[in-house]
Structure 1
Amino acid sequence: MKILIDKYGRKIDYLRISVTDRCNLRCIYCIPQFGVLQTREEDMLSIKEIVSFVKVASSHGIKKIKITGGEPLLRKDIVSLVSCIKEIDSITDISMTTNGVLLKKYASDLKKAGLKKLNISLDSLCSDKYKEITKIGKLKDVLTGIETAMELEFPQVKVNTVIIRDINFDEILDFVRFSTETGITVKFIEYMPTKNSLDGYAKKFVSADEMRFLCSEAYSLLPAVVDGNGPAKYYVIPGTNGTIGFISPLSCKFCSDCNRIRLTSDGRLLSCLYAQECVDIKDSLRKGPDIDEVTKLLYRAIVSKPASHSLTVEDKQMDFCSMMRIGG
């Protein structure tokens, strides 16, 4: 099997696939309240087209797949997609990031189809605050989804929590307790800037170091290794089943170890979350696909992968629509 190596010597073996830019929540830091122009149905990649690309990518070293959105469970064919990817022998890991609202409905079928890992986005454990953040979400739906996943004994369930000062900063230790009580790993993520970030973004930013310091004042933290595809630094809490992680895309960039590329729902390859350029592969996939042409486009995306993103707390380069379509 060939191996994808970018010009900085990084081995690329991880593909994140955004299967839709639609979502059933309206989180304040993700979707602008005035609405967005969504991708037309006919412009979205079909299951067949996605699987065709995964087959090409897997023959060149891609082994791990993360399905994202928007909200991936809004795609009615999502279970079939997981099942088709599972049939590709060289794919060793299939995971999904979801807001969990529809998880109770789909969890059993997803597990049977071959989904191994779940990352569930949850930014508050308070019903009122969760509603404030998501605008239309109900906390009980997500908690029921998490409970269902645990009952089904998914190999791995993690919670992703974006921390924003003056919004959910005061819940950090509540999430740590949630981890100790449930055994679910909680990952704290730095709030990323966009063109339409909340007013006063810099004042709302909380670094991973500050989060970790707060946690260490209340709990003993021991560094740990946790299976996963991402850059989180993990810690276990002795005497409990709790594990927490911290992801620091701004305060301590992990670009030198980045092993991923991204495919959007409308067929664009991005080598970096904040890439200014993309490689459009939709037409090539719809031609049959033309495997040689798709392969060339894949390598073009790898070659374009930057050494590092240049984003800082003061920057606001990405717009909401881009973040929704790329899937974070």
Structure 2
Amino acid sequence: MSATDPVLELESVDKHFQTTSSFVESVKERIFGEGPKLVRAVDDLDMTLEQNQVQGVIGESGCGKTTLLRTVMGLYDPTDGDIRFQGKSTSEFGKADWKEFRRKVQIVFQDPFNSLDPKFSVRRTIAEPLEIHDIDYERSDIEEMLEKVGLTPASQYIQQFPNQLSGGEKQRVAIARALITDPEVILADEPSSMLDVSTQASILNLLNDLTSEFGVSMIYISHDLSTVSYVCDEINVMYLGRIVEKAETRELLSDPKHPYTKALIQSIPIPDPHHKRERATIGGEPGDPIDMPEGCRFKTRCPERMDVCDRKPRDVDPDGDGERTVACHLYYDHEATAGQADEPAGEHTPETPT
């Protein structure tokens, strides 16, 4: 792999789950030949993660963020599409390839209280991935990693157990465990969401420093746009399993295009009771990922809804510079596209509006 090649690529990735049928639904399926209903947790998703880049995925709870990470990690098999690591498709991986992949792609889970084995000391927790991957190590290597994640002096922490650590200290141990194998990619699943605000800030600062120091790439997911904007170079806005807007972080925050992105930004708390701004105008709850609405998935909550929203929006490059994609009919020439069919499944090439 050359220095300019992406480290991780997702192309038209789907992850669908079959629902558990009730007795009545099972009878209907047998009589009427209806197939089982699907939960489309991740749908037709594209992403390219460059070397030493941090990409964020933002969206409400239930939009498919964690499913995306678990699919990338190989904990779920993708229903369709292709995931490539260092240019090679994971569908072609053998046992040795998967072992190497799991060494080079590490995950930091959301809940530090349950992601650590309560019977393992800090030393054993960090040493375990080294032993699994047959990597020689010394006690000094573990102590050095503890120092790098801010657990100092390391000698004070190395023999402690999870019940002797605070939430922030647990998450630092989890981050140390992820970094000890010298990975290429970190998958961070809301790593600060269960911590208090002051501890969140220290974990975010730590991740910023470590991604620069170790040169790793990271996919960072969260429901909190303020934390994602602090850590990430680029942000993907996800709604009901689909990326509805993707842009460089500063561009997205200063000039959001999709109505859902605008609402998320308007909802970021500002610590000033006298500050006046436009309120977010969306209401209701996210749609049902089982009975997905036809056309745009956001249309039932969108203040900009139009008749054309009953058709599936294409990914459009609204500025024509290749720096952003938006899945929204607001950026279509509707007369030019009138009568065209919906975007075919898997066709996900950004278009420049005419």
TM-score by length of structure 2 reads 0.30
TM-score by length of structure 1 reads 0.32
Q: Which has the larger radius of gyration?
A: 2
